[in-house]
Structure 1
Amino acid sequence: MVSPGNETHQELLLKIHDLTLRLEEAQETLDAIHAATVDAVVVYHDGKHRVYTLEGVDTIYRRLFETLNEGVLVATADRTILYANRRFADLVGVELSRITGASVERFVPLAQMADFTAFLERAEEMPHRDDLSLIRADGGLVPVLVSINPAPLERSETGCAIIVTDLTELRQVQEALRRANEELEERIEARTADLLCANAALETEIAERMRVEEALRNEDRQKDEFLAILSHELRNPLTPLRNATQIMKKPGLDETRLAWCRDVIDRQVEHLVRLVDDLLDISRISRGKIELKKEIVELRAIIDSAIESSQPFIEAAGHELKVSFPDEPLPLNADPVRLTQVFANLLNNAAKYMKAGGKIYLSARRQEATAIVSVRDTGIGIPAEALISIFDLFTQVDRSTNHGQGGLGIGLALVRSLVHLHGGQVEVYSAGPDQGSDFVVYLPLATECLNDVTQPKTSASMLQSPRRILVVDDNHDVADSLGILLQFLGAEVQVVYDGASALETIEAFKPDLMILDLGMPGMDGYEVARQIRQKPGFQDVMLIALTGWGQKKDRARTRMEGFDYHLVKPVDIEALKTLLRL
């Protein structure tokens, strides 16, 4: 028989066991709910545990949520998370068990909290979606598209369902697309710039080609005009030459008529020589082959030489030349022959383009370290449009007007080139047609030699007076005419026509000077010179080369072969007289 005390004790034991089971069951339930393996949530709030079940959600829907590629949240009105799928846990990098019961705001960056709050308020009335960022456990941000829909909970409580779509890959694609678009725009801009540059270069090239083509057309036109002028200029002296030679063939010609014929021939040959010399000079200058033989010389000596050369032409035209020169010396470091050519050319031009009885004013002055020479005339003048090209090759002014004088259009081009070679410049001024013209030459002075100005030097050999001259040329007309001319000048002359005869003749004739043609057949002039220099007693014979070749290399060779001087055909008689002192 059991006593009442024992019954009470037994009942207490049973109650304790029952409570223990219930507590264990409750604990397992809570653990399951927290592990999201049941369709209910226990939330501890105000010291109490509140259990929420998800209306209309069963195991099938829960499994469906777990298969989605979007994160899913269910939250209460106070933003407490009741449910989260594993995709959301992966997005934020937090264990699923630590998400349930947490606040949604835990995963929202502080900088976007205000926007998120406004976002939730709008979603309470109607579904809403917007871009947002979630903060990961490692502090990184995940760009997402958030969709919020109102969702009813137990006991008429309203929460919300949140769908989160990861935009990382989309943002990466968008960023890549943005960079690709920027790169494309940069490439388009660069390509556009390249095309603009290429177009500008093409336009420049087209303009340059058009300019070159126009220049070529002008040059071609000038060439044709030059050839026509050259033909005319060459025929001008050839006609009186032929006429004079025909007249001289007439029997019984009196001395007056013979003298007239000789004067005509001399003038026209001199004209031909000037034409050929100008052509050769401009060719050498254009090819950079001209060589200046500079020395310290007084400008007045050069001007005097130019006046002496041009005076017959000026007087023949009936012009008056007035010269003004300072008392102080104007020394130049210059080639006197070339500068004489410059001023003679300017004087000849002034005389050529003036009606008879005109006036030429030549003046010189010093301005600091520069000598300024002006050649002014009262002639036909120069039109304004021609002033720019007056110094260009083959340029002539007022060709349509017959002034009785021709020209190749190279004289002023030669003047400019020679002046530039001396470090100077030349300018032209004219008030227009029939207003005359003024050519002004600027030349640097040799200021260091103001007190040591000398005239062109004369070698000792030039001061000699050779009287016995041997002329050697295979061209009989050249040899004979030169021999006769030298005889007229008072020299004793013998003429031979080949090198062997020259070597035989010198033994008996013993010349003081020999004028040798270089291009003779058989034994040329070089060989003759070499053998003469080797003969005893003939080392001091003056040897003058007479040839049609006058380039620098030709002159260098004659010096090397033992010649004393080098003259170019046709020989300048005055230069020859000066050289021989006859």
Structure 2
Amino acid sequence: MDRPQPSADALFEHAACGLLLTDRHGRMLRVNATFCDWLGYDAAELTDLKHLHDLLSAGGKVFYQTHWAPLLQLQGSVAEIKLNMVHRDGHMVPMLLNATWRRHGDADFIEIAVLIVEDRHKYEQELLLARRNAEASVAAHQRAQQELQESRDVLSLAMRGARMGAWSHEPKSGKFWWSRELEALAGYAEGRFAKMPGGFFELIHPGDLIALNEAVERALASSDDYVVEFRFLHASGDWCWMEGRGRATYDRQGEPLTVYGLGIDITERKEAQTVLLRQAAIFEHLSDAIVITDLRGNITDFNVGGERMLGYRRREILGKPVTMFHSQHEALRIRREAFAALAADGTWRGELPFVRRDGSRGVCDTVVKPLANARGDIYGAVCVSRDITERRRAEQQLQRLNLELSKADRRKDEFLATLAHELRNPLAPMRNVLEILRLKEFADPQLNWSRDVFDRQLQHMTHLVDDLLEVSRITQGKLELRKQRLELARAMQSAMEAARPTVQASSHHLSVTLPREALYLDADPTRLSQMILNLLNNAAKYTPPGGRISLAAEREGDEAVIVVRDSGIGIPHEHLDSVFEMFSQLAPALDRSQGGLGIGLALVRGLAELHGGTVAAFSDGAGAGSEFMIRLPLSRAASAPADHTLPEPTRVAGLRVVIVDDNADAADSLAMVLELEGHEVRTAGDGLAGLALIGEFAPHAVILDIGLPRLNGYEVARRVRREYGGASILLIAVTGWGQQQDKQTAVEAGFDHHFTKPVDPRELQQVLGRQRV
């Protein structure tokens, strides 16, 4: 006669673990007697009246709302969460919760299995026994299938959540039973083990099967439990790890009736242990600080690099919040930014201020990533921080130095521009006096020689001032090229003519070899001639009297190569690269050159680079002469260049001209030049006097300095255009300020022309010649 089997309700009510069923919001729909007994409640007091979080401690409620409930909704299950539940009499009962989100029909439910932490082993065994009784009940009572199925689902919940499977063996009959959860853990369909002669044991690694059998035999001999770890072959072909636990029941004679086993999948734990062992050396010896936290943000691990960076010992901070390294305000900001970044990208990276144990502050570059198991369940975070305090301090120091250098460089450029302006002012009357002397014919040859010397030296001084300002423009990136397609031979001839007085003054022999074919460049004609002229002047200065200088050009591939050679003092090998630096002059050459600021070659290099070319110096050493080579890209255009030769200006006399300049020598000398050309001229020394003179004299042309006292030249020009019907008056700016923005400002003020001092009177006469009376 069969023994009476317990009903499904009895199995549910008296299961070894607490069982709960709640709606999606956590309101309890059904609880078993085991759970009620643990907490001292009746089922009626809990069902439909309380929510799960009502039974949690204060900390547990916070964790339920911020972590447990969101993770359950996101993942569909939560395994082995330890929370304190409150007994009816107020004391805390530590519990392990396993939960799964289920959908039945149109409704969502949460199935929860609960174990008391201290009695977990006992509950596992009771859970196993309940499972066996449930399976026996299913086999014996088909009539109670529906009720039993409900019990099986609830009991299976705990096993699935904990990734467990069960088995049993009757030694006398040799019968085996395998739970469907065990088959699922191995990757097989339900009932598969029953068709295998050895069942699940066929999947166990041969080396581990011996140890399992020995553990079971020792347990039977001592009537004790067994615990053993072993590998098994998953249906996917991978070797997985399982922890086997179990015990036997005995008859009155002490013979084993049934051996029960519970298998727990520990593959993830084993893999994690392997990874941790492999990374332990890196973790401990890495110079960066590595901090690992749980979901609450409490520190669970801390490496030696962290001890060095933060000044704490590992044992001092385990379990403490990671926010202890930051101020309260910074901690709130970091938490907000980190959560947003982790939710969006899965990684947060940033620079964080931190406080060391001794109170000193620093800055670290930190990366935060979530930690998750193989199923994707997040269980914490890892923070890797690198101390960049010294780097930040060095960068700040570098920024300060760069700012100071930038200010010094700007002051240098401003000084050069001001110096050029101040040097041009005295050059203006000198140029005018020279023009007066040129217009006079002298019978005395010494006077003619003196005038020519004056002319050459004034040109040299003017070139020095121009070079000084243009090198400043290049270094500031303000020099603009006016490129056009031109023939290289013309630029060479122009430079040769300009250099001839300097070359002849030292009795040098200059030979010129023009290219065999017409070479066309896309270049600024003035700047191209200036590069060649500077190389010729440099050769003339550093070659003893009677030396040889040659200028040649030829084509090499897609480049035009311009070469200037001399028989001068040469360049030591160690100075070949530095000769193109600003203000560079060779010490041995100081007593042999004809002066200069050491900026001519720097200007050549800057202009060559602006044209997309290069310049290089070659020499076999002191006394062996020098060679300078410019390489410029040839023009790709096919047509011949346009002829930009300016027509000879028509000579016009009889203009009324007003000159306004606070430099009396410059104004008077220029007035004398223009009067010799046949013009009627008046002068004024400041802006207001100039305006009054313009109103009285009604000039055809006005020549204005810009830096005038009482009223500057720009304002004078504006008032002339506005108040004196100045549309017909020719306004010419003659000033020491010659940068591009100065010329643009002059145009905006109403000037027709802008000349930089010292102006060539012949160029000024060309402009005046176009003014109609």
Q: Is the shorter-chain TM-score for this pair beyond 0.5, marking a shared fold?
A: yes
Aligned with residue 111 of structure 1, among 202, 219, 224: 202
Alpha-carbon separation, structure 2, partners of 1:376 and 1:273: 25
State whether structure 2 residue 433 is matched by structure 1 residue 362. Answer: no
* AA at the equivalent of 2:739: Q
State whether structure 2 residue 641 is matched by structure 1 residue 438. Answer: no
Stretches of structure 2 that go unaligned for 5 or more consecutive residues are 5-118, 141-167, 179-198, 233-240, 291-364, 367-383, 434-442, 685-689
Alpha-carbon separation, structure 1, partners of 2:767 and 2:231: 111
The alpha carbon displacement at 1:177 in A equals 7.0
2:129 corresponds to: 89
SS in 2 for 1:463: coil
Aligned with residue 501 of structure 1, among 693, 697, 700: 693
Alpha-carbon separation, structure 2, partners of 1:371 and 1:205: 50
Q: Which has the larger radius of gyration?
A: 1
The alpha carbon displacement at 1:286 in A equals 2.5
Q: Is the 8 A contact 1:517 1:546 kept in 2?
A: yes
Q: TM-score, normalised by structure 2?
A: 0.48
Stretches of structure 1 that go unaligned for 5 or more consecutive residues are 1-26, 33-66, 73-84, 136-140, 246-253
Aligned-residue CA RMSD (Å) = 5.6
Alpha-carbon separation, structure 2, partners of 1:435 and 1:208: 49
1:387 corresponds to: 576
Greater shift in the superposed pair: 466-475 or 520-529: 520-529
Alpha-carbon separation, structure 2, partners of 1:121 and 1:542: 117
* AA at the equivalent of 1:360: I
SS in 2 for 1:279: helix
1:299 corresponds to: 488
The alpha carbon displacement at 1:465 in A equals 0.6
CA separation of 1:495 and 1:120: change in aligned 2, threshold 3 A = closer
Alpha-carbon separation, structure 1, partners of 2:764 and 2:398: 52
Q: Is the 8 A contact 2:660 2:704 kept in 1?
A: yes
Greater shift in the superposed pair: 258-267 or 404-413: 258-267
Q: Is the 8 A contact 1:375 1:440 kept in 2?
A: yes
2:66 corresponds to: none
Alpha-carbon separation, structure 1, partners of 2:535 and 2:389: 44
1:138 corresponds to: none
The alpha carbon displacement at 1:324 in A equals 0.5
The alpha carbon displacement at 1:322 in A equals 0.7
Aligned with residue 282 of structure 1, among 468, 471, 475: 471
Alpha-carbon separation, structure 2, partners of 1:560 and 1:104: 108
Alpha-carbon separation, structure 2, partners of 1:214 and 1:562: 40
Kindly provide the CA deviation profile for residues 149-169 of structure 1, in whole angstroms up to 9, marking residues without a partner as x. Answer: 9x9996xxx96699878674x
Alpha-carbon separation, structure 2, partners of 1:162 and 1:381: 108
Identify, as 1 or 2, the structure richer in strand.
Answer: 2
* AA at the equivalent of 1:495: R
Q: Is the 8 A contact 2:201 2:209 kept in 1?
A: no
SS in 2 for 1:407: coil
The alpha carbon displacement at 1:312 in A equals 1.2
Alpha-carbon separation, structure 1, partners of 2:258 and 2:573: 92
State whether structure 2 residue 654 is matched by structure 1 residue 468. Answer: yes
Q: Is the 8 A contact 1:295 1:333 kept in 2?
A: yes
Kindly provide the CA deviation profile for residues 492-515 of structure 1, in whole angstroms up to 9, marking residues without a partner as x. Answer: 4523223432443357xxx6x553
The alpha carbon displacement at 1:102 in A equals 4.4
The alpha carbon displacement at 1:580 in A equals 6.4
CA separation of 1:520 and 1:89: change in aligned 2, threshold 3 A = closer
The alpha carbon displacement at 1:571 in A equals 1.9
The alpha carbon displacement at 1:532 in A equals 9.9
Alpha-carbon separation, structure 1, partners of 2:501 and 2:389: 57
State whether structure 2 residue 228 is matched by structure 1 residue 131. Answer: yes
* AA at the equivalent of 1:355: P
Structure-to-structure mapping, 1:89-488, within 5 angstroms: 89-90=129-130, 94-95=135-136, 102-103=173-174, 105-106=176-177, 109-111=200-202, 120=213, 131=228, 143-145=243-245, 168=264, 171=266, 174=269, 178=273, 181=276, 266-326=455-515, 328-367=517-556, 369-398=558-587, 401-448=590-637, 450-458=639-647, 463-468=649-654, 470-474=657-661, 475-487=663-675
Kindly provide the CA deviation profile for residues 17-60 of structure 1, in whole angstroms up to 9, marking residues without a partner as x. Answer: xxxxxxxxxx7xx969xxxxxxxxxxxxxxxxxxxxxxxxxxxx
The alpha carbon displacement at 1:288 in A equals 2.6
1:75 corresponds to: none
CA separation of 1:522 and 1:153: change in aligned 2, threshold 3 A = closer
The alpha carbon displacement at 1:321 in A equals 1.0
Alpha-carbon separation, structure 2, partners of 1:68 and 1:574: 110
Alpha-carbon separation, structure 1, partners of 2:214 and 2:706: 118
1:544 corresponds to: 732
SS in 2 for 1:364: strand
| Aligned residue pairs, count | 468
SS in 2 for 1:526: helix
The alpha carbon displacement at 1:210 in A equals 8.8
* AA at the equivalent of 1:549: W
Alpha-carbon separation, structure 1, partners of 2:592 and 2:283: 68
Alpha-carbon separation, structure 2, partners of 1:134 and 1:287: 74
Q: Is the 8 A contact 1:282 1:414 kept in 2?
A: yes
* AA at the equivalent of 1:464: T
Kindly provide the CA deviation profile for residues 327-380 of structure 1, in whole angstroms up to 9, marking residues without a partner as x. Answer: 543333432222222211111111122222222111122345533221222223
Q: Is the 8 A contact 1:142 1:166 kept in 2?
A: no
CA separation of 1:86 and 1:416: change in aligned 2, threshold 3 A = closer
Greater shift in the superposed pair: 411-420 or 442-451: 442-451
2:50 corresponds to: none
SS in 1 for 2:579: coil
The alpha carbon displacement at 1:464 in A equals 0.9
CA separation of 1:320 and 1:260: change in aligned 2, threshold 3 A = closer
2:293 corresponds to: none
The alpha carbon displacement at 1:404 in A equals 3.3
2:742 corresponds to: 554
Q: Is the 8 A contact 2:717 2:731 kept in 1?
A: no
Alpha-carbon separation, structure 2, partners of 1:335 and 1:134: 83
* AA at the equivalent of 1:110: F
1:526 corresponds to: 717
Alpha-carbon separation, structure 2, partners of 1:531 and 1:174: 91
Identity of aligned residues (%): 30
CA separation of 1:368 and 1:409: change in aligned 2, threshold 3 A = same
CA separation of 1:197 and 1:292: change in aligned 2, threshold 3 A = farther
Q: Is the 8 A contact 1:153 1:159 kept in 2?
A: yes
Q: Is the 8 A contact 2:659 2:671 kept in 1?
A: no
Q: Is the 8 A contact 2:560 2:631 kept in 1?
A: yes
CA separation of 1:388 and 1:486: change in aligned 2, threshold 3 A = same
SS in 2 for 1:363: strand
The alpha carbon displacement at 1:569 in A equals 1.5
Q: Is the 8 A contact 1:320 1:360 kept in 2?
A: yes
